[in-house]
A and B are shown apart, each in its own frame.
Chain A
Amino acid sequence: METSINIGYQQLPELVKRVVRLDANAAISFNTNKAIIIRLLAMFLSAITMFTLCLVLFSGELFHLIFLIVMVLGAFILFSHSNRIVIDPHQCVVLRQESWLWRSAKVVQQQDIENAEVVMTQTGNKDGRRIEVLGQVLQFQLASEAEALMTFLKQQFNVNTMEQISIWPNKTSWFPASDKGLGADHEAPGDADLPLSDDIVPLWSLRDKLMLLIPVLVFSFVAAVLPWVRSL
């Protein structure tokens, strides 16, 4: 099952793969709107933090320092937030998980896959589509992208796919245009015959190396600010 999900996922359009992530357990997930807003807020706080840091270094007022510390803490906490919709084929559930400060995720909302509805609707744009899962909405500019994701969900997870376009506002069941698509593709060639990927996943990616720099930044910051705090 995991293999067919992996293969099906690889065949999705790039834009869909950017939004919907596949983990090692073959569960797929995507960020909720709340998570995206909180991430944007965290970036906004980071920008304010940079500005305040400049103020602290050049003006050196206590108020700015306290404000800076609050902003750094706020940005740190907001960046640690995660809120995702996960479709888990092993437990056969669709769930919304939330976590703070990189702790283990807490299930906020859960529904069995058989009872869960994935509804595709049209946006204001004629070709645009929205896909709603567990009350969370994914927007796509192209109908083909939304349909590729719907096909993937239907064929790999057997989710109850609906559409609210043809006889709006009523919902009707939605089926892939061609059942030959993904389903036939992943059964025809043996998995062992798939060519090796040219890209080797490195042990330490760039992101991991940047993570190693966090203590450098934190300790440098403390070493820079501490003498100034003492002089107050």
Chain B
Amino acid sequence: MIFIQHSPQLASYQPSALVKLLLKSFGGIILLVGLLNIYFSGGERSLPFWVVGIITALGWHAVFGSFRVRIDLTDQMIELKATALMPIFNRRYSLVGARGFRVVSTGASTRPYSVLLVTREGQQITISNAKHQGDAVITARQFVEFCRLPWVDDINPSCSTGS
């Protein structure tokens, strides 16, 4: 995931073009295999229908799935959107009066560090998850600099020096 600044007012946080290309080409092969399995399903040596369903869905998500965070300073909104040719979620939060960003360790096994947006009301919204603390801090710093919002006092002392 990379932070791209399109203009002084607009930025997005999304997978890089190379990652997208690799994912979609590899996913396309899986999707093709899944669709062929569906077409030839019912034969003696064909896979169980639920296995075919999982394989095809994996390919589907790899090809059509997308997730991005979009920041529009003109509207003072941050939008988190995930789709896979169908809406999965689309959440919008106001940046007006937001207290800033912070990095926390959530204790998750795969991606334990989260970048959070702290709204004016004190609500904490996860913007991104990272495997390493350094990556989360870099991401949070990019959000902080673009949105011109402060760091919120952090549970990780090393992060609080970021601003």
Residue of B at shortest CB range from A229? B42
Q: Most chain-A Cβ atoms within 10 A of its Cβ — which of B49, B54, B99? A: B49
Q: Which residues of B contact A205 (CB under 8 A)?
A: 89
- Confirm or deny: B25 has a beta carbon within 8 angstroms of a beta carbon on chain A: no
Interchain CB contact under 8 A, A223 and B41: yes
- Confirm or deny: A7 has a beta carbon within 8 angstroms of a beta carbon on chain B: yes
Interface string of A213-232 (1 = CB under 8 A from B): 11111111111101110110
Q: Which residues of A contact B106 (CB under 8 A)?
A: 200
Q: Which residues of B contact A51 (CB under 8 A)?
A: none
Among residues 125 to 163 in chain B, which have CB atoms less than 8 Å away from a CB atom of chain A? 125-129, 152
Among residues 99 to 131 in chain B, which have CB atoms less than 8 Å away from a CB atom of chain A? 99, 104, 106, 114, 116, 118, 120-129
Q: Which residues of A contact B54 (CB under 8 A)?
A: 216, 220
Interface string of B51-81 (1 = CB under 8 A from A): 0111011001100000000000000010010
A230 to B41, CA, bound (A): 10
Interface string of A71-110 (1 = CB under 8 A from B): 0000000000000000000000000000000100000000
Binds A, one of B4-12, B14-22, B90-98: B90-98
Interchain CB contact under 8 A, A24 and B92: yes
A207 to B91, CA, bound (A): 13
Residue of A at shortest CB range from B42? A227
Q: Which residues of B contact A6 (CB under 8 A)?
A: 120-121
Knowing A200-B116, A208-B82, A230-B42, the reply to whether A194 touches B49 (Cβ < 8 A) is no
Interchain CB contact under 8 A, B96 and A2: yes
Separation in Å of the A187 CB from the closest CB of chain B? 14
Q: Which residues of B contact A222 (CB under 8 A)?
A: 38, 53
Knowing A192-B99, A203-B80, A217-B53, the reply to whether A208 touches B88 (Cβ < 8 A) is yes
Partner of B53, one of A26, A202, A219: A219
A3 to B91, CA, bound (A): 18
A25 to B106, CA, bound (A): 28
- Confirm or deny: A196 has a beta carbon within 8 angstroms of a beta carbon on chain B: yes
Q: Which residues of A contact B86 (CB under 8 A)?
A: 102, 211, 214
Among residues 108 to 147 in chain A, which have CB atoms less than 8 Å away from a CB atom of chain B? none
Interchain CB contact under 8 A, B121 and A215: no
Q: Which residues of B contact A (CB under 8 A)?
A: 34, 37-39, 41-43, 49-50, 52-54, 56-57, 60-61, 77, 80, 82, 84, 86-89, 91-94, 96-97, 99, 104, 106, 114, 116, 118, 120-129, 152
Contacts A192-B99, A200-B126, A215-B60 aside, 13 further interface pairs with beta carbons under 8 A come to A23-B92, A25-B92, A25-B94, A191-B120, A196-B122, A197-B123, A200-B114, A212-B84, A215-B61, A221-B49, A222-B53, A224-B49, A227-B43
